[in-house]
Structure 1
Amino acid sequence: MVTNILHEGGELLMLCHRIPYPPDKGDKIRSYQWVRALAECCRLYLVAFVDDPRDWEYAPRLREFCAEVYLVPLKPYLARLRGLPALATTAPITTAYYRDKRIAVWVEELLKRRPIKGIVVYSSAMAQYVSGHCFKRSMAENCRRIIDFVDVDSDKWRQYASQRRGAMAWIYRREAKRLLTYDTAIAQEFDLSIFVSQAEAAFFRKVAGLEIEPHFVTNGVDHLYFSPDPTRASPYPSGRAVVVFTGAMNYWPNVDAVCWFTAQVWPSVREQMPNALFYIVGSHPDAKIMALASDDIVVTGRVADVRPYLQHAAAVIAPMRIARGIQNKVLEGMAMARPVILSSAGFTGIGASDEKCVLLAENAAEFAKRTSEVLLGSHAKVGKAARDFVIKYFDWEQSKKHFVSMLTDITPDS
């Protein structure tokens, strides 16, 4: 039976593993767009964890367009301890990390007191509250469940394992296996599964052994916000050529990418351009990143506005070695009309033309060559072509329309 869960202002529940505001990092950017899209066409109930104390101030912003917002604090160190017992079971650590009785109770009570027609789960860790024995159909008769996996997170753990040895490698390999098993079961149980790109959806179908390929809705970029502005002042020292990396700097793939670049690429770039600077721009820089700070490497920490750092950089880099899905940092750099130099891992799901819209580099020598060329004035047309490309193919308004359209025509196992 086809179900339109948005018909006549239906009521929806959305569960997020992290508060979807402010939209200042990858997962929060996408979840925020879904919240806004759903809130415009239905009565939306939102539940999420808050893992950064500074984000509590944004709760009133979410309540402006949600019927109810239920937020629960998550302390990472306690969550890690909560996840450890999972090692003695067949469950993934991820679900134990995000397990909280308060959310379970709130969700159960909401489903009893409100005529919820649809449930949107953002990140599979939150599916535990509306799946299996925890979800009783009698509580939400005819309720459809949609999950946005975004990326194949289990494969990130496999990639993490390849970078580690000993006990940690074993733990990461175990998590990759257990999480894939869990995600496969969720995909089979829910009415609709979504990923961030066709490549990601096809990859999940392959590794999960599914008969039907999941759907996908691509990310977008706010190209009106991320737009060059001639009146925007530069944050950089005058007369210095700057290379910039942006992203949350306590996120392992970002830390790995930056540490690799500074060790394997940056010395060669400095030989070509002695006055060049490398800026690492992003919140929560960990000890490894802070240790990189020097005369030619600047670690900013969290900044109020990343756009000046993108606009006035000679080059934006994304030397990702561990990645899945689409890198928002790449889309933002392209939208700001900057040459983006990136690895194949950072390029996945974007599909732009090499040397026309982006500059691909597969190893340290290629990264050094490409970066030096840009700093010396080559590839001057790449930035404009990059902006034109993301405006055409990565527009949030189109992605939101696509997402909402899926919810108006759901059949079980669609």
Structure 2
Amino acid sequence: MKILMLTPYVPYPPSSGGQVRTYNLLKHLSKNNKITLVCLYKDQQEKKYFSKLIPYCQTIYFCQRSPHPWTLRNIFKSIFSLKPFLIVRNYSNEAERILKKILEEEIFDIIHAETFYIMPHLPKTDIPIFLLEQTIEYQVYQHFVNSLNPIIRPFFLLDILKLKIWEKNYWKKALMVGAVSENDRGIINHISPRINPVIIPNGAGEDMIVKELNKKNLNKPIILFLGNFSWLQNTEAANYLIQKIIPLAKKELTSAKFIIAGQNAESKIGLPKEDNLEVIDIKQDENEKVKKIYRGSSIFIAPIFGPGGTRLKILAAMASGIPVISTKIGIAGLSLRNKKDVLIANSPDEFIKSIKEIIKNKKSYQSIRENAYKLIKEKYSWQSIAQKLESIYYNIRI
């Protein structure tokens, strides 16, 4: 099958959620299909990753978008047009020209668009389009606006409305829509009842899955939160951990050490003031460092309260063989059972209680990590996810 894959980012290195997803899909879909990739970049340095994608793509096009999203030009263009800011900041004239040329010269069986805001680059076409929504974008943006000073929030309300209208419009333009979780599928169906999305979940990369579950030292537990701190939800979670959980831990978990790690950790979170906390900065392409930090930890903690998508960090922790303690929102979209595959906590006291219980009860600790690890292998492997996606492609073509 000939697939035209569109992404609003370069899918390498596999560091952010979208990059992890697309890179692994390309890796597995390329075994049985011919893929043409059109992706957007904003930094010239990203071109060095071209060679990393060649093994999985027949043809690759890197198209430049605005390197600095928050320019006056982009802001005014959004204010004085019907386009929401997300569309304006991710628009590439080069991508529009290239896609027009490609579709005039070649025939594809399917167009796969990762996120709706890459779709405005497409000319009118009869080729079936599969749109995968990695999250419900207007909800993520709404959450961001809610975090702002109440005085300036009204200035963003029109943009949220425009974003919701555009997102809904592109759901209708696609022949089929995919969501990464049951929760997102339900939201799309509620907003547009005629659309019944299929679920194509996220997974854990083979490189994250440990070969065996090594013994952990629970007398001196290392409690980890890892993420990309360019995203508001991750910054909120880290601040919640620092301000509300760690002060309690100093009194009740005196032997525990906390680690907050990820891209932009130091610039967004700052250097730690607590002696039981370490903040580790991870560069975009330091995948081995990510694996080492996961595997050196005892517990993964995710005090996430922001909406959208499924959490690749949760899956990575499960694949690494460390139990997860998360809010209910943090595991939304994942088929996880409380006290079987994961521990759910929704307040500082509940997080502390869960940590204390699991480090004292070694049988429970081992059971949860084993169940989660088994689930990764059975349900959240990229190979099985790519196979499901291929079957959907074939159904669309019929």
Same fold judged by TM-score > 0.5? yes
1:389 and 2:381 aligned: no
1:17 aligns with 2:8: yes
Aligned residue in 2 for 1:62:
53
The change in CA–CA distance for 1:65 and 1:82 in structure 2 (over 3 A counts) is farther
- Note the C-alpha offset of 1:74: 4.5
Give the match for residue 280 of structure 2: 300
Q: Which runs of 5+ in 2 are unaligned?
A: none
Shift of 1:60: 0.5
Which amino acid in the other structure matches residue 385 of structure 1? Answer: N
1:195 aligns with 2:179: yes
| CA distance in structure 1 between the aligned counterparts of 2:360 and 2:45, rounded to whole angstroms | 41
Displacement of 1:214: 1.5
Instruction: From the superposition, tell whether residues 177 and 357 of structure 1 become closer, same or farther in structure 2 (CA, over 3 Å).
Output: same
Work out the percentage of aligned pairs sharing the same amino acid: 18
Q: With structure 2 as the length reference, what TM-score do the two structures score?
A: 0.90
Find the partner of 1:408 among 388, 394, 397: 394
Judging changes above 3 Å, is the alpha-carbon distance between structure 1 residues 227 and 239 closer, same or farther for their aligned structure 2 residues?
same
Which residues of 2 match residues 139-158 of structure 1 at below 5 A? 142-158=126-142
Correspondence for 1:88: 80
1:212 is displaced (CA, Å) by 3.1
1:241 pairs, out of 201, 211, 221, with 221
Give CA deviations for 1:210-253 in whole Å, capped at 9, x if unaligned: 32321221122135642155799x9x9x9742110111122211
- Asked if the contact 1:317–1:342 (Cα under 8 Å) also holds between the matched residues in 2, the reply is yes
Check 1:374–1:267 CA distance in 2 against 1; reply closer, same or farther (3 A cut).
Answer: farther
Q: Which residue of 2 aligns with 1:125?
A: 117
* Matched residue SS, 2:280: strand
How big is the alpha-carbon RMSD for the aligned residues of Structure 1 and Structure 2?
2.6
Secondary structure (helix, strand or coil) at the match of 1:409 reads helix
| Matching residue within 198, 204, 213 for 1:221 | 204
1:315–1:374 Cα contact (<8 Å) kept: no
Q: Which runs of 5+ in 1 are unaligned?
A: 1-5
What CA deviation, in whole Å up to 9, does each residue of 1:155-190 have, x standing for no partner? Answer: 111222332223553355444322221111111111
Q: SS state of the match for residue 147, structure 1?
A: strand
How big is the shift at 1:338?
1.2
* Separation (CA, whole Å) in 1 of partners of 2:120 and 2:273: 42
Aligned-pair CA distance for 1:401 = 0.5
Q: With structure 1 as the length reference, what TM-score do the two structures score?
A: 0.87
Call closer, same or farther: CA 1:177–1:333 in 2, change over 3 Å. Answer: same
How far did residue 84 of structure 1 move?
0.8
Change (3 A) 1:336 1:166: same
Q: Which residue in the other structure is 1:3 paired with? A: none
Change in CA separation of 1:245 and 1:172 when aligned onto 2, cut-off 3 Å: farther
Distance in 1 of aligned mates of 2:265 and 2:296: 22
Give the Cα separation in 2 of the matches to 1:147 and 1:76: 25
Segment of structure 1 superposing worse, 71-80 or 281-290:
71-80
SS of alignment partner, residue 193 of structure 1: strand
